[in-house]
Amino acid sequence: MLNQIHQGDCLEVLATLPEDCVDLVYLDPPFFTQQTQTLRSKALQVYAFEDSWDSMPAYLAFLKERVCAVQRVMKPHATLFLHCDRHASHYIRVMLDEVFGYDRFVSEIIWTYRRWSHSTRALLPSHQTIFMYANGDDYTFNDIFLPYSETTNLDQILQKRERNPHGKTAYVHDEQGEIILNGEKKGVPLSDTWDIPYLNPKAKERTGYPTQKPLLLVERILQLASHEGTLVLDPFCGSGTTCVAAHLLQRHYIGIDQSPAAVHLTRQRLENPIRTRSAVLEQGREAYHNLPDYVVNILNTLPVKLVQRNSGIDALYDSYVEGKPIVIRVQREGESIHHAIQKLQQAGAKKHAYAMILIAQERYQPMLEGLAELPSSVIVVESLPLMIQQQLQRLEEGIPY
């Protein structure tokens, strides 16, 4: 089957396809938000569509008709992934139970992300739901393993375990009492909650089409439930992310969208399929932890907020004074107090700090350092271990308080 991008209502386009030809379907219909979605900033082209239906039943009828049409073209071992948000996800899943059967439900995938915030009397919505349904008992499913989390005790996992006659499992040892390794471990099996960063407003991957999904999300779905050379269908292809993902992963694809602009965009994207780099995707959020452990430990004892991306400031005090922030820096190992104060002062001045606090790891002797004329807004406080050390020394030398 050749790759195809169709313009039109997917109901009509699907009718032209033969039965049992598709191996995986990713369905990202308009949400039931009752708003018009537009995005005009990036490209000159303005993309827009309406999420407006008269009622929930009308929306569901619209969707059910199309899901049924999709089911007709799915192979017996094919799977469907339907992407929805909180407004209608429950009704959609009930509908999917009707179409595919309650027992054909495989997984409820929660896509979580962090997002710009707002103030409202509810929790900040930061997830969307993807329902996975199979078209038959025997469906394609590839095990995917992710790296172990950092808190896992890897040494222990690598040890061999056996069940003793009483049914308890225990780690086994050889005659010398040494542990026995268990061979290679594959990692943690993929769970049904996926923490994938939202497609950032500034990402190059953005096409200017509203509702664009991150490539990584769709790629993971294709890898999970299809093989190379199989056929992927997206009846609401929008900016064409699914087709691009299929192309990059050597799958065939059929993309359908009602909007000529979307179809044009998809074709354009496919001519030069780009997977953009994302620092947070590639390296994980841990990569942004710039502060050494001993600094974090000290800051954890204070009512502050950590600052990860400023080389002069390590934290901000929770409360302001006279509308100005109080900034904090911890002297680094091997760093002179002189240098620490300089960096703190520079960074603090830029932020119009009310006060700048340096937590010193060594004795602070302004006279010796020639720093006696520090501005009064710079405060040097000795760290707890340092103070204890001094007190112990005093005790040893027999000097009274």
Partner DNA sequence: ACCGTCCCTGAATCATTGG
Partner DNA sequence: TCCAATGATTCAGGGACGG
Residues binding DNA (CB under 7 A):
28, 30-31, 33, 35, 37, 39, 41-42, 51, 83, 85, 113-122, 125, 148-149, 151-153, 155-157, 161-163, 168-171, 182-183, 185-188, 197-204, 210-211, 276-281, 285, 309-312, 347, 350
Question: Per-residue string for binding with a second copy, 91-120, x by CB under 8 A?
Answer: x-xx--x----x---xxxxx-x-xx-xxx-
Spatial contact of 326 and 357, defined as CB atoms under 8 Å apart: yes
Structure token pair of residue 88:
């209608």
Question: Is position 171 an interface residue for a second copy (rule: CB under 8 A)?
Answer: no
DSSP state, 272?
A: S
Residue 10 exposed, middle or buried by CB count within 10 Å (0-12, 13-18, 19+): buried
Which of the stretches 211-219, 226-234, 257-265, 390-398 binds a second copy when contact is defined by CB under 8 A?
A: 390-398
Upper half-sphere CA count for residue 236 (Cβ side, 13 Å): 20
Using CB under 8 A, which residues numbered 299 to 318 contact a second copy? 300-303, 305-310, 313, 316
Q: Name the token pair of 252.
A: 């065939």
Partner interacting with residue 80 (select from a second copy, DNA, none; CB below 5-8 Å by kind)? none
Residue 83 binds a second copy (CB under 8 A) = no
State how far the alpha carbon of 133 is from the alpha carbons of 80, 138, 140, 293, 317, in Å: 5, 12, 11, 45, 49
Instruction: Give the shortest CB-269-to-a second copy separation in angstroms.
Output: 26
22-27 and 47-50 beta bridge pairing = unpaired
Asked if residue 341 binds a second copy (CB under 8 A), the reply is no
Least CB distance to DNA at residue 63 (A): 12
Q: Is residue 122 close enough to count as binding a second copy by CB under 8 A?
A: yes
Neighbours of 347 (CB within 10 A): 19
Binding span for a second copy by CB under 8 A among 16-24, 44-52, 241-249, 387-395: 387-395
Nearest by Cα to 266 from 45, 12, 25, 31: 45
| Nearer CB in complex with DNA: 311/393 | 311
Binding partner at 170 among DNA, a second copy, none, C-beta below 5 to 8 Å by kind:
DNA
* Residue number, 56 or 274, with CB nearest to a second copy: 56
Nearest CA-CA partner of 74 in 18, 2, 7: 18
The tally of CA atoms less than 13 A away on the side-chain side of residue 292 is 7
Number of residues located near a second copy, criterion CB under 8 A: 107
Phi and psi for 190 in degrees, rounded to 5? -60, 130
In angstroms, the first-to-last Cα distance of the chain is: 88
Min separation Cβ 387 and a second copy, Å:
5
377 binds, among a second copy, DNA, none (CB under 5 to 8 A by kind): a second copy
